[in-house]
Copies of this chain bind each other. A is one copy, B any other.
Amino acid sequence: MTRQPCACGIDVHAHVVPEHFPRYIGARMPASWPSMVPAHECHRHVMIADKVYRTVSDKCWSPSRRLADLPAMGVSQQVLSPMPELLSYWFEPADGQQLCRWLNNQTAAMVAEAPGTFIGLAAVPLQDIDLAIAELEHAMQVLGFAGVEIGSNVNGVPVGHKRFEPFFAACEALGAAVFVHALKPTGMDRLVGPASLQQVLAYPSDVGLAAASVITSNLLLRHPALRIAFSHGGGTLAMLLPRLQQGFGVFPALKEQLQASPAEQAAKLFFDTLVFDTTTLRHLVDRFGASQLMVGTDYPFNFHDRTPVARIEAAGFDDATVQQLVHGNAQRFLALDGVVA
């Protein structure tokens, strides 16, 4: 019996670029304030610091274009988060807040075109914790978002650093799902080859270290109701975790630092399935558990997974695991339909 392909996936990792950027309002425009210029048909160049940062299609901002693409991916609900470079943590806080507000309004407008199908994640100016919390409150309480996208680091400081403690406390209190995405990664001087290796190799390295920082800082022990997910299958974390677990048993300072074992803490983290490989997908389920993985695609960028649900369905999991990965875990992560993590 051939199982009917599911079209019930929830994609937690899909990006938005607005059709336009606002005119800067302030005293001194940041050199990397973004703008748009026309490109080939249906495309625009995102200009940052007078260079083409990325050429993107109108799928980035058009609800109808996106809706048309969902069924072929097996996706029925898509979580919208900004293209991470736009998070702009390197701006002055007030400038960052201005751009984040624009992004959030654009996302909200897209969600309004297909509520229930599109789900919004906020951008917040994490270079200023108070402003970030205020913007998150606005996004959750006024715009009706499900949570927030944050970078794997903020100007080089990993998300597990104690300076972000009040922000995560606010996320927990507001019930905001936190999606951690690679950004301005470490290790750029270790790459040999074209610029795309930043996305290909350095992004997962930075995400892995960010996830490890959340474990070594005991974040989920202080905030047990916090729901936090990591992009790109957690990046390199799957390879770091067994070594961290062993180190926890060997180094007294690490034993003292961690208030629960790395394995126990990792079991509370969510991850997307964006690894482009069935063997690795199965390993992630072995490593992190069938209850913690959710569809992620990086739609609509070139480097996105076009068959995220089919890959899960073909991986040899039992039906219950397939349902969890395809939508059940995302429902918990996003607290949809009253489902609680």
Contact = CB atoms under 8 A, between A and B. Distances in A.
Interface of A: 153, 156-158, 160-162, 186-187, 189-197, 199-202, 204-206, 208-210, 212-213, 216-217, 232-233, 235-240, 242-247, 250-251, 253-254, 256-258, 275-277, 279-280, 283, 286-287, 302-303
A287 B277 CA distance: 10
A17 to B, nearest CB: 18
Contacts of A196: 247, 251, 253-254
A243 B200 contact: yes
| Most chain B CB neighbours (cut-off 10 Å) among A206, A246, A256 | A246
Q: Which secondary structure dominates where chain A touches chain B? A: helix
Contacts of A202: 209
A254 B194 contact: yes
A295 to B, nearest CB: 16
A197 B254 contact: yes
Contacts of A257: 193-194
A208 B197 CA distance: 13
A262 to B, nearest CB: 9
A276 B242 contact: yes
B245 A239 contact: no
Contact of A251 (B200, B254, B279, B283): B200
